[in-house]
Amino acid sequence: MLAENSFLPLRTIDNVEAVGPFKLVLDIKRGKLIFDIRDENDAPIMLHILSLSPFRLIMKDYFLICERHHEAVKSANPQQIEAIDMGRRGLHNEGSELLSDRLKGKIKVDFETARRLYTLICALHWKG
């Protein structure tokens, strides 16, 4: 995430142009995703709170297919594993696109950065 990303807060606390590098702390509280963005000296740049409600169904399906993939690796043939993995990647892309859309006008991210952020959000949200 540190080496290859495109991440730019568009609105800052003091309405000045944000210049990286940035520190990002992600947290989930009361069904909300919190983006705490700071500069390299730990000064606050932006605090953005995003509802996780629009992600619920995609995340639920994503976690179910991840479980299926984990089980399939133990006993399924390669074609079955590949089919499950394609579905998993498709759901991951769908979640990443939703995240990118929900961040529009607040935080600018490219698709690969949105994918990485979505992975982190799923890891935070996972109740395994």
**Cα separation of the two ends of the chain:** 24
- Tens digits of residue pLDDT in 26-55: 999 998 999 999 988 999 999 999 999 999
**In the chain, domain spans:** 7-125
In this prediction, residue 5 has a pLDDT band, given cuts at 50, 70 and 90, of confident
- What's the whole-model pTM score? 0.86
